[in-house]
Amino acid sequence: MNKLCLLGLLVSLASQSAFAAAPAEPLKNKDAFIANLMKQMTEDEKIGQLRLISIGPEMPRELIRKEIAAGRIGGTFNSITRDENRPMQDAAMRGRLKIPMFFAYDVIHGHRTIFPISLGLAASWDMDAIAKVGRTSAVEAAADGIDMTFAPMVDIARDPRWGRTSEGFGEDTYLVSRISRVMVESFQGQSPANADSIMAAVKHFALYGAVEGGRDYNTVDMSPAKMYNDYLPPYRAAIDAGAGGVMVALNSINGVPATSNTWLMNDLLRKEWGFKGVTVSDHGAIGELIRHGVAKDGTEAAKLAIKAGIDLSMNDSLYGEDLPKLLKSGDVSQTDLDNAVREILGAKYDMGLFKDPYVRIGVASEDPADTYADSRLHREAARDVARRSLVLLENRNQTLPLKKAGTIALVGPLADAPIDMMGSWAAAGRPHQSVTVREGLRRALGDQAKVIYAKGSNVTGDKAIVDYLNFLNFDAPEIVDDPRPAAVMIAEAVKAAKQSDVVVAVVGESRGMSHESSSRTTLEIPASQRELIKALKATGKPLVLVLMNGRPLALAWEREQADAILETWFSGTEGGNAIADVLFGDYNPSGKLAITFPRSVGQIPMYYNHLRIGRPFTPGKPGNYTSQYFEEPNGPLYPFGYGLSYSDFSLSNLSLSSKTLKKGQTLDASIQVKNTGKHDGETVVQLYVQDVAASMSRPVQELKNFQKVMLKAGEERTLHFSISEEELKFWNNQLQFAAEPGDFNILIGLDSQAVQQQTFELL
């Protein structure tokens, strides 16, 4: 045993035994243990626990350790290796009460292995695949000494101008709630205390996705019924699944910032939903209460936040600076402080840290020899999940799958873009470890076909945008512009196209364009790339667009140019391989959109489950005095739930087991689904409900269930869906949650528009 490893072992043993000796209460009684510990804590030590700091250049390591040992820091985020975290835990173990630190990080769609962005994961409609993402992320993050993730992000997004649309799971309450549950369960495993689990802190509570105009950090104004029916259920699903933490949103809700919102954190979260875990403010949000205009200074901001129920303060100094005087003046009571401390210690307890502060950090002798080693990645899982997230939007004349023969022109600014492959919030992912589309094609083809690569254009020709996006990334420039004139780059791509049998153009957004603080006023592919597409189309060669983007794009023009379009989001470490699998037919695409693609930005908001209205637009009928825009076709370009396959699927014989449903009983809806194509493949059969006449207007349709089925070519199967009163309940304007007797339509389809319908009555 070398010196280092002996030291590690001694520290670990010492800390465990020392810790076990400190409080008189046995560890197995959580409440008594924490109560006893709190009795021993000074006011300063209690306030210290509320402080969550970001590890960064502005905080020298020495200072951090001193602060930790003095009991002035409860946890950190952004330190992501065992050997970074171990000295901090050691410092905590040198503290008077040896209260362990915890280490958090934004593990959103993978940790070292990067999976598709969340919007792509949702497009898989595959709960097993999503569970694999959560579990793999937890295993990898825990192995790096991380105890908590600020995820899942389950904000419903219905305005794609919002850059954080990429980070969530789309527009639909039911689908996002299902995923929310799966993510929490797979992050936390059997218990968040396990060595290979991390605690989930669901975010951003609440309604962040509804910021006005899709402009980040903007206000949210919403009726209670809409909140309860559409926006709150995904957070609730995470809480019900046992999420140990909640991150509070940066926005205000009906005029009251979430960070100072007593109704939100106390009445709803704790009292109504029974949440027992820890709350954390978002980055700097307590201080922002001044700019929201609800606190006159930092002192008032700290008071409002703690009284409303913010336990941990993320990168704010205000609790530390102002709570002592607020406690002295009595503006904040000892109970207010104790409530917050109790939740934080409770979370540490639940993460298993009192039992063993080194449960995830381990001993130095077992640290990975190379933290960044490729062998630490889960490439197979990443490829499998990435393939499931891809959505085939167009495929004229069966342009896809491509033959592994002849010559392929591979063009576009995103064809060989390792950073973009990973998407935003790529945790500890390393760009050089991601497989680009160019690399994926190379590996898939070997020497069976020739690939001519040409970049063709920059992501954008707008220098101000490049500067903005590069400013967002601290480590390396996000976008490195090719200095050649646009015309030269296009000419090179056109030449490649002319020498080829088919053109594959990888276009869309750079990853930073779909990120926090990256709201857009247009949903179009930037002009530099549209020029490229125009020139490629003019060659007359079959044109396949491979899209990379983190939000719905307005693709009406592109749809006319392309023979095939494959939506790939930002598909992660193995994205290039997964995309090649689909392009060459080694995998039959099965993804379905989890968010509506509008025709233009002017149609926003456009989501499939909007409320019914008095003058709906009816396709094919005269449009006057109906709800519509007269300058372009109405309705979405690609509806929610849409996605093609290399096979064809048909639905028939929707039938209900009864025309009536009694409360407390169930009804069976069955439908036959057939693979009428030549390839085996998967599809998603979606069940929607419409309340025909209720006490208030209800959505035109709402997803209530779905089944993803694999069918061999020619295979037919009957699927059954059970319907009970539960699926028919909603929150009315008096906030009562009940199903109202009367007629309901059941709609089943392969997307939200092409549906079959039957009616029954709830008695």
The smaller minimum CB distance to ligand BGC, of residues 281 and 433, is found at 281
The smaller minimum CB distance to ligand BGC, of residues 159 and 282, is found at 282
Q: Which stretches of 245-374 are DSSP H helices?
A: 262, 288-292, 298-308, 318-329, 334-350
Q: Does residue 25 contact residue 35 with C-beta atoms inside 8 Å?
A: yes
Give the chain's largest Cα–Cα span.
84
The smaller minimum CB distance to ligand BGC, of residues 151 and 536, is found at 151
In the complex, residue closest to ligand BGC by CB = 150
Residue 472 CA to residue 514 CA, distance in Å, equals 12
Q: Does residue 539 contact residue 493 with C-beta atoms inside 8 Å?
A: no
Residue 84 tokens read as 């970074």
Separation in Å, CA 690 to CA 171, 693, 710, 739, 763: 18, 9, 27, 12, 16
Q: How far is the CB of 203 from ligand BGC (least distance, A)?
A: 6
Residue 10 CA to residue 450 CA, distance in Å, equals 59
Q: 475 Cβ partners below 8 Å, 6+ apart?
A: none
What distance lies between CA 286 and its chain's CA centroid?
Answer: 24
Residue 745 tokens read as 């339509």
Q: How far is the CB of 89 from ligand BGC (least distance, A)?
A: 21
Q: How far is the CB of 52 from ligand BGC (least distance, A)?
A: 9
Q: Does residue 649 contact residue 392 with C-beta atoms inside 8 Å?
A: no
Strands (E), 359-480: 391-395, 407-411, 450-454
The smaller minimum CB distance to ligand BGC, of residues 50 and 654, is found at 50
Classify residue 470 as left (phi > 0), alpha (psi -120 to 50) or beta.
alpha
The smaller minimum CB distance to ligand BGC, of residues 137 and 568, is found at 137
Which residues lie near ligand BGC (CB under 6 A)? Answer: 106, 150, 203, 282-283, 516
Q: How far is the CB of 122 from ligand BGC (least distance, A)?
A: 18
Query: What residues does 744 pair with on adjacent strands?
Result: 691, 760
Catalytic residue among 282, 356, 416, 691: 282
Q: How far is the CB of 228 from ligand BGC (least distance, A)?
A: 24
The smaller minimum CB distance to ligand BGC, of residues 468 and 557, is found at 468
Residue 110 CA to residue 55 CA, distance in Å, equals 20
Q: How far is the CB of 152 from ligand BGC (least distance, A)?
A: 11
Residue 682 DSSP SS3: strand
Q: How many other CB atoms sit within 10 Å of the CB of residue 388? A: 25
Q: How far apart are the first and last CA of the chain?
A: 74
CA contacts within 13 A on the Cβ side of 578: 32
The smaller minimum CB distance to ligand BGC, of residues 134 and 591, is found at 134
The smaller minimum CB distance to ligand BGC, of residues 248 and 748, is found at 248
The smaller minimum CB distance to ligand BGC, of residues 125 and 208, is found at 208
The smaller minimum CB distance to ligand BGC, of residues 282 and 384, is found at 282
Residue 119 tokens read as 């919007």
Residue 300 CA to residue 319 CA, distance in Å, equals 10
Q: Does residue 548 contact residue 414 with C-beta atoms inside 8 Å?
A: yes
Q: How far is the CB of 245 from ligand BGC (least distance, A)?
A: 11
Residue 366 CA to residue 654 CA, distance in Å, equals 58
Q: How far is the CB of 314 from ligand BGC (least distance, A)?
A: 7
Angle of CA points 746, 127, 279, to nearest 5°: 105
Residue 493 CA to residue 366 CA, distance in Å, equals 50
What distance lies between CA 109 and its chain's CA centroid?
Answer: 7
Residue 129 DSSP SS3: helix
Q: How far is the CB of 282 from ligand BGC (least distance, A)?
A: 5
Q: How far is the CB of 283 from ligand BGC (least distance, A)?
A: 4
Active-site residue flag, 282: yes
Q: Which residues are catalytic?
A: 282
